[in-house]
A and B are shown apart, each in its own frame.
Chain A
Amino acid sequence: MPEIRLEKLVKRYGDVQVLHGIDLDMAENEFTVLVGPSGCGKSTTLRMVAGLESVTEGEIFIGGSPVSHLDPKDRGLAMVFQDYALYPHMDVARNISFALRLQKRPKEEIQAKVREVAEIVGLSEFLHRKPGALSGGQRQRVAMARALAKDSDIFLFDEPLSNLDAKLRGQMRAELAIMRQSVQKNMIYVTHDQIEAMTLADRIVVMHGGYIQQQGPPEELFKQPANKFVAGFLGSPPMNFMDVDLQEEGGIVVARGDGFGIAIPAEISNQIGKNSGKITLGIRPSDLNYDPNAAEDRALDLQVIVSEYIGAQSVLLCSCGSTNVTVELKSETPIALGETLRFAVRTEGIHLFDRATESAL
């Protein structure tokens, strides 16, 4: 329903500034994921939208009107917390209905609503249990149901899955993705897990050090990272970075590093201008294919140090001159540790970053 707009949002604790002017537009019914490492300001941003943290400077608009002076309850939102934040002395039904009871809605309406959302999250049998008698996953569902019951236009999630074990997390992530399709609301979701971000988001906002690094659809961020941080943060295993110098050799621009030289396609080199000096080359493991017959200027020769068998694929940690490079390989490929293998570089997979500013070229 309403779009959310953050304008030059600043947060300071005393002399410490944790957010440096966040500008963000979230369209109607958009699922926005704020993602970044610990301390990047993503939770603070969410808590400011919720009204749990005060705004130092800037303004938050919901549906066009400024809200930063409003109490949380007057902003029309629901929130799911990392530690679930259930009311321990109330049973599941009373947890879910707390907001409705405060609004003094009619009893029948409240009961119907509780039954409805309990059905959605699969808690119907547990309505009369206290949170203490529920498992982690069930508590998470209660938190979800409590948020759903409020009928708010805006849903906030503060790392809702990070207290669950790996298997449950995957399951809940899938359920969230399903719920997402039927519940048309504005959702803001904070996580440090890039897989959650990639799978759930309409729009990913990558944050680091109190700044937004890049925002956009997951695919765009994955394919065209704006800087080295975004490139390294999204994708698993993470992107490989190597220091190179750009040199012109016989009419072709070559990225020359320690023990390799990769020809840069003309369309890229034309864009950045020749000889632009110190550069970081980024290649995702998925853009390196084992190919013994590849041409030398389109490939890396990698010496295998460690092989991590994870099923159909193995992740190989290799050395290329003085840098380490991670690649993926089908497990049936016969290799020996210490062996040197040739991996072809997909031309679409070449990312170049300025070594000083770390922004993409």
Chain B
Amino acid sequence: MKAHFLNRVTPYAFLAPAGVIMVIALLYPLGYMIYGSFRDWDPSQNISETEFVGIKNYITLFFDPAFHESLSVTLIFAGSVVIAEMAIGVGLALLLDRNLRGMSILRTLFILPMMIAPVVVGLMWRYMYHPTVGTFNRTLKSMGLQGVDWLGQNALLSVIIADIWQWTPFIFILALAALQSLPRSALEAARIDGATPWQQIWYIKLPLMMPVLVVTGLLRLIDAFKVLEVILVMTEGGPGLSTEIVALRISRTATEFRELGTAAAMSNYLLILLLILTLAMLAFTRIQEARTARLARQVQEES
């Protein structure tokens, strides 16, 4: 009886430390944030002194044009980086999925950007984008072309390019892994069936990679919605609100505008958005697994 009890408790005992950290580091702040989002809260106040305002913060935000602007910047940013990164990353993977001399070195080089700290990436690109001494404009001018006002007129495009540079490798390595685990013989069968290289990609490789690509894309999308450091370092959200993504607006609302309640409500909006994406991703994998299991059961029942 006692041994039985110990057996049942042991796993939970091992899980307990992680559970405690989760509660302190995740659930407590989360609860605090949700609680705070219903209050009119200045950073100088203790939370117990604040006034309960119901869902006023949420309603204010809902009609706030600056928040709309920030949300649409975030959507444009996340949408375009994910589409561009998927296209380039998968394209590169399809191109480099072969045994060439030095390919392993090339692959390592490709994933370097991902390993650099975001703040460093931001600084690096800020210097490269510099209107007069930056790499890009100096190169353009040496070729006799006009410089581009990277972080001014084209700020959003510029941060999008930097993000693509940093995160395409992520898609690339996952797509390459997916490609290399494809059944070789199915591809050989396609060659014999008369598929050109393009048709092999279109009819065989991409459909078979799709489950991995969907999950990868959703992961990237979730990440892109949370991006902060690179843009903070490069533009601080400017000029104007042109690159002020939601995460940046949240931090400014809390520090510059001193409206903790509104910032908390904004965080909750973002949280809901990310939750929907995460659930979509989980649902997708669950559906895939369920389908495979169902097919296997069907075969078993018949035999």
Contact = CB atoms under 8 A, between A and B. Distances in A.
Interface of A: 50-52, 71-73, 77-79, 81-89, 98-99, 102-103, 130, 132-135, 146, 150
A135 B193 contact: no
B185 interface: yes
B295 A52 contact: no
B302 interface: yes
B186 A98 contact: no
Given A85-B185, A87-B204, A135-B303, A102 B195 contact: yes
A34 B239 CA distance: 73
A286 to B, nearest CB: 37
A73 B191 contact: yes
Contact of B295 (A79, A102, A133): A133
B153 to A, nearest CB: 45
Contacts of B270: none
Q: Which 6 A-B pairs have the closest CB atoms?
A: A85-B185, A73-B194, A99-B193, A85-B189, A133-B295, A132-B295
Interface string B144-186: 0000000000000000000000000000000000000001011
A242 B302 CA distance: 51
Given A134-B299, A135-B299, A87 B192 contact: no
B207 interface: yes
B186 A85 contact: yes
B184 to A, nearest CB: 8
Interface of B: 183, 185-186, 188-196, 199, 203-204, 207-208, 210, 292, 295-296, 298-299, 302-303
B192 A72 contact: yes
Nearest to A78: B192
Contacts of A146: 189, 193
A81 B207 CA distance: 21
Nearest to A143: B189
B298 A102 contact: no
Nearest to A80: B189
Given A87-B189, A88-B186, A133-B299, 16 more contacts: A51-B191, A51-B192, A78-B192, A81-B185, A85-B183, A87-B186, A88-B208, A98-B195, A99-B193, A99-B194, A102-B193, A102-B194, A132-B292, A132-B299, A134-B299, A135-B303
7 contacts: A50-B188, A77-B192, A87-B190, A89-B207, A99-B193, A132-B296, A146-B189
B61 to A, nearest CB: 44
Nearest to B197: A71
B194 A103 contact: yes
A77 B193 CA distance: 8
A85 B190 CA distance: 9
A132 B289 CA distance: 12
Contact of A81 (B189, B194, B296): B189
Given A81-B185, A85-B183, A130 B295 contact: yes
**Residue from B207, B208, B299 whose CB has the most chain A CB atoms within 10 Å:** B299
Contacts, number: 73
B185 to A, nearest CB: 4
The secondary-structure label for the interface of chain B is: helix
A86 B195 contact: no
B228 to A, nearest CB: 38
**Residue from B188, B298, B302, B303 whose CB has the most chain A CB atoms within 10 Å:** B188
Contacts of A78: 192
A17 to B, nearest CB: 20
A150 B302 CA distance: 30
B195 A83 contact: no
Given A132-B292, A135-B299, A88 B191 contact: no
A152 B140 CA distance: 57
A278 to B, nearest CB: 47
Contacts of A135: 299, 302-303
A150 B192 CA distance: 10
A98 B192 contact: no
A102 B296 CA distance: 30
A132 B288 CA distance: 12
Contacts of B185: 81-85
Contacts of A71: 191
A98 B25 CA distance: 54
A133 B293 CA distance: 10
Contact of B188 (A52, A77, A99): A52
A102 B208 contact: no
A89 B296 contact: no
Nearest to B193: A99
A71 B303 CA distance: 40
B45 to A, nearest CB: 59
A98 B190 contact: yes
B181 to A, nearest CB: 12
**Residue from B194, B195, B203, B207 whose CB has the most chain A CB atoms within 10 Å:** B194
A51 B192 CA distance: 8
Contacts of B298: 133
Contacts of B210: 89
Given A130-B295, A132-B292, A73 B188 contact: no
Given A88-B208, A130-B295, A79 B192 contact: yes
Contacts of A85: 183, 185-186, 188-189
Contacts of A83: 183, 185
Nearest to B187: A85
A88 B194 CA distance: 18
A71 B189 CA distance: 13
B196 to A, nearest CB: 8
Nearest to B188: A52
